[in-house]
């Protein structure tokens, strides 16, 4: 009996040859201006057998930028750089969507010409970041005013349009992992008392408005959303993750999305949180294609599909170390070990030089 990982999947406008999704992975291989490089085209085309590639988190604006040599999608040069990536991908027959990213309070003034990063409330993220000037503590951000929220929604709309110009097949809205949209969703970071704060229905409002704007460019069937209901990264928390994220899943049903992508690491993963898992509740609430991510092996992914926990599974680190991951899964072959030290360096080592599976 063939593994369910290899059963084709229709998700929105996409027809996927398999259910093995490449998760978005920040790798820091753009240039210092956030322009994608030819090396990035090599990296993605090596992995083109994935049912769908979700390209790495990509800043929607200068104010949303905050990672050394991460890509952007807000300048003509960045669009041109991405065009080379998508053209190379499409020559292989692969499918690639762009993840739209605003770092919110996880950015730093060193990236922003001295301006404060922005957030729903003036509460600093926990920990530190790395800027062009070295390691720095996170700072207390500027709480967005209503007009600034509207301008940020316009930034997402413009970035979605530029992603279309760059040749992508669709987009994913990054509303996970302690970045701006996630900061609005979770009440540990969002202490607002206006229409964007308080009950979950209010905290979801910004995500709804961004989704409406982006889907207005692409159509819901070429738009996905990524959420991380319990990721504690950068001090994120919520008093009722099940309640909050089921409200989010329910509200997102209105847009006819291509998929909902939930990053909730399995027990034993370094980012796994204690307490009740939220994704099973979201699965029952969301009416479309449901993708899970976080510590899945081939066996665990197959079990998740067989049990109806998901329609597809996204893999991150396994794709870093195994450009031919799909072929390895099909052959049930062993996997390369990842070189953690090269995850966020800036050259080909640990990026495009992992060995392929031996033939025969």
Catalytic machinery residues: 179
Rounded CA separation 165/153 (Å)? 19
* DSSP type of residue 336: P
Rounded CA separation 27/69 (Å)? 8
All residues at 6 or more sequence positions from 247 whose CB lies less than 8 Å from its CB, including other chains: 200, 201, 204
Q: How many other CB atoms sit within 10 Å of the CB of residue 50?
A: 25
342 to 153, 190, 229, 289, 328: CA distances (angstroms): 34, 34, 28, 33, 22
All residues at 6 or more sequence positions from 167 whose CB lies less than 8 Å from its CB, including other chains: 82, 83, 86, 87, 90
Rounded CA separation 52/348 (Å)? 23
Rounded CA separation 17/27 (Å)? 26
Both tokens assigned to 112: 């922003």
273 SS3 class? coil
Q: How many other CB atoms sit within 10 Å of the CB of residue 284?
A: 11
Both tokens assigned to 29: 């291989």
14 SS3 class? strand
354 to 54, 294, 349: CA distances (angstroms): 20, 22, 8
Q: How many residues does the chain have?
A: 360
Which run of H or of E encompasses 181? helix 180-185
Q: How many other CB atoms sit within 10 Å of the CB of residue 262?
A: 25
Longest distance between any two alpha carbons in the chain, whole Å: 63
């Amino acid at each position: 009996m063939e593994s369910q990982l290899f059963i084709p999947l229709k998700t929105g406008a996409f027809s996927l040859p398999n259910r093995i999704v490449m998760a978005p992975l920040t790798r820091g291989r753009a240039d210092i201006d956030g322009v994608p490089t030819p090396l990035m085209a090599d990296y993605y085309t090596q992995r083109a057998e994935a049912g769908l590639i979700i390209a790495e988190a990509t800043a929607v604006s200068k104010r949303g930028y905050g990672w050394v040599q991460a890509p952007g999608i807000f300048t003509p040069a960045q669009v041109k750089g991405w065009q080379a990536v998508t053209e190379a991908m499409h020559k292989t027959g692969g499918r690639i969507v762009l993840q739209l990213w605003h770092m919110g309070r996880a950015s730093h003034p060193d990236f922003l010409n001295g301006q404060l990063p922005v957030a729903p409330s003036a509460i600093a993220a926990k920990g530190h970041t790395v800027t062009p000037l070295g390691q720095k503590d996170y700072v207390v951000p500027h709480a967005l005013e209503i007009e600034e929220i509207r301008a940020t929604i316009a930034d997402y709309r413009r970035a979605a349009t530029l992603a279309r110009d760059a040749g992508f097949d669709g987009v994913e809205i990054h509303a996970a992992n302690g970045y701006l949209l996630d900061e609005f969703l979770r009440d540990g970071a969002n202490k607002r008392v206006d229409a964007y704060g308080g009950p979950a229905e209010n905290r979801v409002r910004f995500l709804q408005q961004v989704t409406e704007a982006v889907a207005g460019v692409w159509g819901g069937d070429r738009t996905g959303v990524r959420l991380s209901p319990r990721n504690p990264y950068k001090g994120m928390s919520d008093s009722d993750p099940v309640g909050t994220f089921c409200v989010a899943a329910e509200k997102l049903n209105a847009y006819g999305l291509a998929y909902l992508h939930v990053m909730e690491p399995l027990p034993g993963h370094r980012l796994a949180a204690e307490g009740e898992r939220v994704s099973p509740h979201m699965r029952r609430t969301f009416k479309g294609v449901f993708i899970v991510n976080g510590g899945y092996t081939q066996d665990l992914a197959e079990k998740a599909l067989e049990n109806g926990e998901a329609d597809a599974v996204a893999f991150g680190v396994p794709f870093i170390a195994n450009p031919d991951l799909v072929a390895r899964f099909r052959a049930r072959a062993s996997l390369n070990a990842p070189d953690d030290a090269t995850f966020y360096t800036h050259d080909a080592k640990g990026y495009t030089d992992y060995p392929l599976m031996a033939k025969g």
